[in-house]
Amino acid sequence: MRHRPESQAALHDVLLGTGVFCVLATTIVLLWRQNALLLAATIGIALLVLRLWHERHDAAFFLVLAGVGTLAEIVFVQCGVWRYANPTLFGIPVWFPLAFGTAGLACERLVSGIVRR
């Protein structure tokens, strides 16, 4: 891999983080009625993201955010704060943990790139 200047690497993270978030959001908007298909799509996106960003910190960030975010979401739904139109388990869609972890990792890279610029 070629060495890139820090500002170019930062811009790369900003653009890639933004792109991943947009693809994920668009996928959810288009497929939210089909949980199985959306689960397959979020698995694919999550695997791609973890292939792009695969440092130990990235995997840990993804897993912790997916787990803690999902637990919080289950509490919010069970307490009646809001509800999902197409839930599958504990009031949330089965694809939620992967989407939350992916969105969090994409946003972490986006913010990291902005701060480094």
Q: Annotate 16-49 with b (16+ C-beta within 10 A) or e (fewer).
A: bbeebbebbeebbeebeeebeebbebbeebbeeb
Report if residue 106 sits inside a domain. yes
Residue 4, number of CB atoms within 10 A of its CB: 11
**Cα–chain center distance at 30:** 16
Q: 15 in a domain, yes or no?
A: yes
Residue 85 is given by DSSP the state S
Question: Per the domain annotation, does 100 fall within a domain?
Answer: yes
* Residues 6-52 pLDDT 10s: 889 899 999 999 999 999 999 999 999 999 999 999 999 999 999 99
- Per-residue pLDDT of 54-67, as tens digits, reads 899 999 999 999 99
- Could you give the 3-state DSSP secondary structure of residue 48? helix
Rounded-to-integer distance, Cα 75 and Cα 90, Å? 9
Query: Is residue 111 in a domain?
Result: yes
Residue 21: give the domain boundaries. 6-116
- Residue 1 covered by a domain: no
**Residue written as tokens 């787990």?**
67
Number of domains in the chain: 1
Q: Is 105 strand, coil or helix? A: helix
pLDDT at 73 over 70: yes
